[in-house]
């Protein structure tokens, strides 16, 4: 059955791979599932046809036969459940990997997004300079805790899993900030994620949309 995802027709990040279709592409590449992409503009994302797929008018969405999903956590979990490669076989290890997916989305991503929102939308407010250090403190708090847990392991819990895919995707949002530099093990962790052939293919595919070129085979 054909899998179709949606992505930005023109990503605001200029093809840096930060739009959330990249994590879905990455998951599909990890499990070897081909997929098609329907590009949407900011205008069409808010129209009825797209809202029927995604009630909040966002990307990415995921369609497979009569199944339509939104939310990258749910999409990556669905892919990982149906195809080998992203979740361990053993029930407890599987539950722990799923826990890391939730941790990435519910505990680590929110302060990172708060920082992005502050920088993008609040830079002209009088209180911005006072607030930013508080927001960055909250990001560092999470990074410190994550760094302690990861220690010198390659991945968060044994072999690479959907939990690592999601955590690396979330941490990548900080790459240009320099904030990860204080945590060499997290920097190396992110680099390990980026070095995976499946990530490389996913990144190239989203970049090709932006540059208008064909992704490499
Ligand atoms: N929690 C959602 C977030 C989706 C999201 O924020 N998508 C962004 C692109 S990365 C978007 O569509 N932004 C445009 C908008 O919200 O209008 C998920 O993980 O799928």
Cβ neighbours of 208 (radius 10 Å) = 15
Q: Which helix (H) or strand (E) holds 144?
A: helix 128-150
Amino acid 216: pLDDT:
66
CA of 58 to the centre of ligand 1 (A): 5
User: What does the alpha-carbon distance between residue 101 and residue 61 come to, in Å, rounded to a whole number?
Assistant: 18
* The residue to which tokens 């879905």 are assigned: 24
Q: Whose CA is nearest to atom 16 of ligand 1?
A: 58
- pLDDT beneath 70: ranges in the chain: 216-217
What residues form DSSP beta bridges with 37?
Answer: 5
Ligand 1 centroid to Cα of residue 53, in Å, is 13
Return the pLDDT at 217: 65
Ligand 1: list residues with CB < 6 Å: 19-20, 57-59, 71-72
Tens digit of each residue's pLDDT (9 = 90 or more) over 48-77: 999 999 999 999 999 999 999 999 999 999
Q: Nearest 5°: CA angle at 194, between 199 and 197?
A: 45
**Centroid of ligand 1 to alpha carbon of 65 (angstroms):** 23
- CA neighbor of 93 nearest in space, from 11, 158, 45, 39: 158
pLDDT in tens, 195-210: 999 999 999 999 999 8
Cα 193–Cα 198–Cα 202 angle in degrees, nearest 5: 100
Closest listed residue to residue 24, CA positions, set 65, 67, 68, 76? 76
DSSP characters for 86-128?
Answer: SS-SSHHHHHHHHHHHHIIIIIIHHHHHHHHHHHHHSTTSTTH
Determine the residue of 18, 58, 109 to mutate for testing ligand 1's pocket, defined as the one with the most ligand atoms within 8 A of the Cβ atom.
58
């Amino acid at each position: 059955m054909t899998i179709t995802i949606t992505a930005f027709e023109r990503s605001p990040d200029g093809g840096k791979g930060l739009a959330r279709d990249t994590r879905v592409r990455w998951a599909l590449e990890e499990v070897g599932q081909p997929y098609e992409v329907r590009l949407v503009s900011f205008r069409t994302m808010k129209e009825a046809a797209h809202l029927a797929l995604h009630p909040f008018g966002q990307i990415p969405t995921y369609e497979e036969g009569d199944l339509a999903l939104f939310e990258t956590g749910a999409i990556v979990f669905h892919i990982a459940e149906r195809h080998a490669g992203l979740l361990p076989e053993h029930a407890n290890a599987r539950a722990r990997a799923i826990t890391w997916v939730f941790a990435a989305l519910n505990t680590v991503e929110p302060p990172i997004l708060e920082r992005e929102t502050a920088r993008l939308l609040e830079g002209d407010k009088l209180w911005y300079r006072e607030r930013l250090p508080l927001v960055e403190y909250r990001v560092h708090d999470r990074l410190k805790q994550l760094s302690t847990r990861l220690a010198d392991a390659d991945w968060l819990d044994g072999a690479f899993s959907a939990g690592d895919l999601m955590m690396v995707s979330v941490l990548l949002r900080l790459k240009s900030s320099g904030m990860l530099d204080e945590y060499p093990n997290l920097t190396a962790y992110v680099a390990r994620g980026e070095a995976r052939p499946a990530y490389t293919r996913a990144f190239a595919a989203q970049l090709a949309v932006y540059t208008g070129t064909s992704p490499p085979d």
